[in-house]
Structure formats: structure tokens, C-alpha cells
Structure 1
Amino acid sequence: MKIILIGLMGAGKTTIGKELSNKLNLRFIDMDDEIEKQSKMSIVDIFEKYGENKFREIESKLLEKLVLEDDIIISTGGGIIKIDDNCKLLNKQDNVVFLNGSIETLVKNVSNDIHKRPLLKSSTDLYAKIEELLTERYEKYKESSDIIVDINNKNINEVISQILVYIR
């Protein structure tokens, strides 16, 4: 079994992925953590030193490798769907779960770790930036997933229960 979690930053992909991993006894990979490990640099440093395009290239190569594995839960980065080839690859997979949250939920969830998020670091209006990113990416998240789970006003266990109903 393979489960791939997609959605905007703050949707809970890492938190939900770790908990699903424990419940289902599957290996968990957070793509951002994996990229930091492999490059020996933080995501913020990669963005600052090499730019977003280079980061997306690294991210795409990792996704190509990870989708070949079984018995894994993959937490993608929020921008994974910015590359069309990644969307096509995700479309060929089963159990791609879009964790869908409102702007308010996402803002609340990211407000304590903005410094770790390159696309938010220089933002003066967090709400407007999250709204812009969500508007820009929403349709691609929907198109790239086969399961959509609303995370608003739900705790971790409620979200996981909903995912478990739909996975195959």
C-alpha cells in the first residue's frame, strides 16, 4: 500500500502522515525532510542559494523515485503540483489524498513556523499570501488527487479516520 498526501503548507501532511504510518505500520517519508537530509541544507537555504526552480527539480526527482516504492506514506511539499509532470505522475497513483483546508485553518497552522517556509518568510500579510497560494494551486490539488479530505475543524484522529475510509 502507498498513500501520498498533498495539499498546501499547514494542511497537516507531515502530522497526518506520521500518525497514519504508526496506525498502518508503513514507512513514512516527508519529502522536505528527505531533501534536507540528502542535500545537507535546509529548504530555506536551497531556495536562497539555488532558487525555487532548482528546488522543484530536486523535489520532482525524489517523487519519481518514491512512487516506485510500496508500503510507504509520502508527505509531499505544498508546491509538488507546480510541475505538470508531477501532476501526471500523481494521477497514475492510487491513494493520493488532498488535505483540503480553509485559508483560516492554514494560516492558523503555519503561523508558528513561518521562518521555515521560504514562500512565507518575506510575506507581510500571511492571510493574503496563503489565499494567493491556495487560489493558484487548488485546482491542481483536486486534479492530482483521487481522495479529498476536508481538514477544517477536525482533529488528527478525525482526519485519519476519514482517510482510512477511502484508501484501497
Structure 2
Amino acid sequence: MQRNSKSTPAPTEGGKASAKQRPIVLVGLMGVGKSTVGKRLAARMGLPFVDADEAIEEAAGMTITEIFERYGEAHFRDGERRVIARLIDGVPKVIATGGGAFIQEETRALILECATAIWLDADIDVLVDRVSRREGRPLLKGRNARDVLFELSAIRNPVYALAPIHVRSVAAPHEATVDTIVKALHA
């Protein structure tokens, strides 16, 4: 677990909200465990949990795969930004985002300004194992998961590193990752 020095401290009483009062937004590559860890983190902290991908599907009335196929990635990213903006409403909660959300400049700026961003990171082997358990990931359609994840990590990890908190997700029970996040939030 690392706290990145590039971040600005969370505003306090005179500003917007302290880190404990802000939504917690989990970012990282697909398969890192944002949804699974997010649910457990929310339960541990007594906060609501929201999966941004599920909120997008609900708002659109179709699956993410259908949105990608019908309208393309640019349309999906615009809708994703609007849904995440609605979710980051100043109410403390845990939000799991899709892997590309934090890569979009406007979405990232919103998250960094109004929430506490946590980068969940994992080795490629761990990610490949996890993504192989679930269908419906548009960026993997018809491609080798290891190759896609390697390419995405090279592009996205430097951007994810802008999150003020960095936590490694390892091949261990998700509770270990939750423990690390809770410690980082109280550091």
C-alpha cells in the first residue's frame, strides 16, 4: 500500500469534505476486484456500495456489451462519465468503476476532486485468472486476455498512479485487500 505524493490533501472543515466523508472510488484494470472488494469494503465501513457499470446498464436499459456494439466506446465513456458524476454526490459510499473510467480526463478530474480514489493493482497472472471467470468484457472479445491486459496495463497504470492511494490486490482472500484499504484510509 502506498500513498501517492502527487495528490492534494482532502479538503477539511473549511473545504468540501474530509476523506472520511467523501465517496471512495475504486479504480484499476478489469479483474482486479473492484466490485468484489468494493462490496466487502462498503460492508466493513457501514457504507452503501454502488457498481458504476451496473448503474450505467440500468440508466441505459442495456448491457455494457450492447452499448459498445450499438454505439461504440466513445458513447459509452460519455454515459459513464455522466453516471459517475451522479454517483459522486457528496454522500459517503464505495463506488467501483469500470477499468477505463479513470483513464478519461473529465471523469478522472471529477473523481480526484470530489472523492477518494484508490488504485487497486494486481499482477497480470492474477488478472488473467480472474477475468477468465466472467464473460461479457467488451475489450476482451475475440482477443487473448493476457495480451489485452498487458497492453492496457502499459497504457493505464501510469494514469491509475494518479490516485492518492495505491493498494496491491494479490491472490489471497479479498478480506486482505479490504484490510489494506482500511489501513490506508486511516493513515
TM-score, reference length from structure 2: 0.84
Partner of 2:111: 90
Q: Distance in 1 between matches of 2:117 and 2:103?
A: 16
Q: Distance in 1 between matches of 2:126 and 2:105?
A: 27
Partner of 2:6: none
Aligned length: 165
After the TM superposition, which of the residue ranges 45-54 and 87-96 deviates more from structure 2? Answer: 87-96
Partner of 1:3: 24
Look up the equivalent residue of 2:55 and give its one-letter code: E
Kept in 2: contact 1:87–1:140 (CA 8 A):
no
**Pick aligned residue for 1:77 from 82, 93, 98:** 98
Q: Residues 9-29 of structure 1, C-alpha deviation per residue, up to 9 Å, x if partnerless?
A: 000000011111111121111
After the TM superposition, which of the residue ranges 44-53 and 1-10 deviates more from structure 2? Answer: 1-10
Kept in 1: contact 2:34–2:97 (CA 8 A):
yes
Kept in 2: contact 1:35–1:59 (CA 8 A):
yes
Look up the equivalent residue of 1:162 and give its one-letter code: T
Partner of 2:44: 23
Q: Residues 76-135 of structure 1, C-alpha deviation per residue, up to 9 Å, x if partnerless?
A: 11001231111222222453110001111111110121x310000121x22111100111
Kept in 1: contact 2:24–2:94 (CA 8 A):
yes
- Which stretches in structure 1 are left out of the alignment for 5+ residues? none
Once the two structures are superposed, the pairs formed by residues 149-160 of structure 1 within 5 Å of their partners are 149-160=167-178
**Pick aligned residue for 1:122 from 130, 133, 142:** 142
Look up the equivalent residue of 2:28 and give its one-letter code: G
- Which stretches in structure 2 are left out of the alignment for 5+ residues? 1-20
Q: Distance in 2 between matches of 1:93 and 1:34?
A: 19
Look up the equivalent residue of 2:73 and give its one-letter code: E
1:62 aligns with 2:80: no
Q: Distance in 2 between matches of 1:32 and 1:7?
A: 14
CA apart distance, 1:71: 2.0
1:139 aligns with 2:133: no
Look up the equivalent residue of 1:132 and give its one-letter code: E
Look up the equivalent residue of 1:151 and give its one-letter code: S
SS in 2 for 1:148: strand
Q: Percent identity?
A: 33
After the TM superposition, which of the residue ranges 13-22 and 149-158 deviates more from structure 2? Answer: 149-158
1:167 aligns with 2:167: no
Structure showing greater Rg: 2
Kept in 2: contact 1:102–1:152 (CA 8 A):
yes
- RMSD of Structure 2 on Structure 1 (CA): 1.2
Partner of 2:15: none
